[in-house]
A and B are shown apart, each in its own frame.
Chain A
Amino acid sequence: DGGITQSPKYLFRKEGQNVTLSCEQNLNHDAMYWYRQDPGQGLRLIYYSQIVNDFQKGDIAEGYSVSREKKESFPLTVTSAQKNPTAFYLCASSSSFGGYTFGSGTRLTVV
C-alpha cells in the first residue's frame, strides 16, 4: 500500500533541545511539504521541496530546518531557536501538479 508515514506520533522535547520529525513516502512523489497546525487553526507552511537536494522556505520557516537527500524522505528538525514549538506537525507529498497526500501527523510538546 502506497502512503506517507510520519514518526513518532507523539514527541516530547525539553527546552533547548533540537528534535527531528521523520516523514517517509513510497508514492514516488517529487514534492514534499511540512505544515504546522496550532489548536483551532488552519495549516501553515513551514518548508517545501520540489526535488531532491532542493527546498524552499514557507511562511513560518524560522526555527526549523529540513533536508531532502532522498526522494522518499523529508525530515524536519525543530531547533532550539523555535520559541513556541508545541504544535501538530503534518507532512504531505504530491506529484508535480496533483493533490496532496498527508501523513497522520506528529504532536510535539515542549516539557
Chain B
Amino acid sequence: DAKTTQPPSMDCAEGRAANLPCNHSTISGNEYVYWYRQIHSQGPQYIIHGLKNNETNEMASLIITEDRKSSTLILPHATLRDTAVYYCIVRVADFNKFYFGSGTKLNVKP
C-alpha cells in the first residue's frame, strides 16, 4: 500500500541537475518523507529525509511543497554513478514501517 507516486523513469545528462518528483497527497502531518536509491542488485541506500522544511546534505537536496503533498529530490550534478532506482517513501506514523512503491529509474547519460 505505497503512499507515493513517482514517474517510472527519467533521463538526465551527466553534469546536469536531476530533479525527481514524488507525489504523496495523502501524507499525514507527522509523517516524514524519505528518499532511498538502489543500484542494481544491492541494498537500498539512504539519501535524505524531511518533514516540512527543505533539507540538504552532501548527496542531495529535498524540496517539500508547503502543503506537503509533493516533494522533489535534487541531485545537483548528476554523474554516471547516480544511475539507479530512486524510491520516495512516506514513513507511516503508527510504526516505523516503510512502504516502497516502484520508484523512478534514473538514467544518467554521458
Contact = CB atoms under 8 A, between A and B. Distances in A.
B96 A31 contact: yes
A101 B98 CA distance: 12
A94 interface: yes
A33 B103 CA distance: 19
A70 to B, nearest CB: 20
A101 B103 contact: no
Interface SS of chain B? loop
Contacts of B46: 99-101
A42 B45 contact: no
Interface in B92-106: 95-103
B96 A90 contact: no
A48 B87 contact: no
A42 B42 contact: no
Chain B interface size, as a band, is 20 to 34
Contacts of A35: 100
Interface string B25-51: 000000000101000011111100100
A52 interface: no
Nearest to A104: B43
Given A97-B91, A103-B43, 9 more contacts: A42-B100, A45-B99, A90-B44, A96-B96, A97-B96, A98-B96, A99-B46, A100-B44, A100-B98
Interface of B: 1-2, 34, 36, 41-46, 49, 87, 91, 95-103
- Which 7 A-B pairs have CB atoms at the shortest separation, nearest pair first? A102-B43, A43-B100, A42-B100, A42-B102, A102-B44, A104-B43, A99-B46
